[in-house]
Amino acid sequence: MPASQPRSRARDRNNVLNRAEFLSLNQPLKGNQESKSSGRKQSSQAGAAGAQNNNPKERRQSQQLPEEDCMQLNPSFKGIAFNSLLAIDICMSKRLGVCANRASSWGGARSMINLLGITGHGIPWIAGTLICLVKSSTLAGQEVLMNLLLALLLDIMIVAGLQKLAKRKGPYDISPGLLDYLTMDTYAFPAGHASRAAMLSKFFLNHLVLAIPLRILLVLWALCVGFSRVMIGRHHITDVLSGFVFGYLQFRLVELIWMSSNTCQMLISIW
């Protein structure tokens, strides 16, 4: 044993790798050790984070976002159908807005279409009803005119309230006119001209004795007034169709609360 130890020490001294300039080859670099240790730390941190994310309760909490930033990835069938119909409505309304401005395909007929729309406005009808009421001398005529005035006032209030609730804009950026501001007809849904035209046509068909050609012309007038609002770009197609429905419902409401002749005479005497 004592003789083998000097021989091993002599071999170590004669080994080239044991020289000072080659010692770095026999020892691992300090940077490598640090990188390995940092890699192990990162992997342990990643494993801890993965273990945390595997917890469903914590994952739900981490994924909670504000409602306006969330996107519904699986919309319902009703939502898809509603959005599709809404897109079709907007597209068709823009195509039918042929008189929306002077540069449109039917821009030259815009004045005539606006004049047709005025025939369905509330202010001329209220003014005409008041004039006829003053000049009327029969009890039956005064009864019909007073209920017609009530129907016109109800139409303005109901349509203005529904428009304030819906606040839907038209297909084109067209500002309302002065008469529209007077009747608070500033939004698109429902179309006030359409509801008024439908209510008036139904009212006259029920309470006036008219020949068949006049009855047909009255219905055509109501349809033309309603769709003229689409042509000038103020309303969508669904706004006009809903206006026709609300106009009919308003007529039914007036029929339910119909004022008798005595009530009308009392109101006229107060006025």
Cα–Cα distance between 176 and 170 in angstroms, integer?
10
The answer to whether 191 touches 233, Cβ cutoff 8 Å, is no
| CA 21 to the chain's CA centroid | 80
Lowest mean pLDDT among 65-79, 150-164, 212-226: 65-79
Lowest mean pLDDT among 64-73, 134-143, 202-211, 237-246: 64-73
- How large is the average pLDDT for residues 137-149? 92
Query: Is 236 labeled as catalytic in the residue annotation?
Result: no
242-266 residue pLDDT tens:
999 999 999 999 999 999 989 888 8
How confident is the model at residue 5, as a pLDDT? 57
Catalytic position from the list 121, 207, 235, 236: 235
Query: Long-range contacts of range 178-183, CB-CB < 8 Å, 24 or more positions apart?
Result: 179/118, 179/121, 179/123, 182/123, 183/121, 183/122, 183/123, 183/156
Place of tokens 């080859």: 25
Cα–Cα distance between 226 and 197 in angstroms, integer?
7
Query: Is 207 labeled as catalytic in the residue annotation?
Result: no
20-64 residue pLDDT tens:
554 544 455 444 444 445 555 555 554 444 444 455 545 555 455
The answer to whether 171 touches 99, Cβ cutoff 8 Å, is no
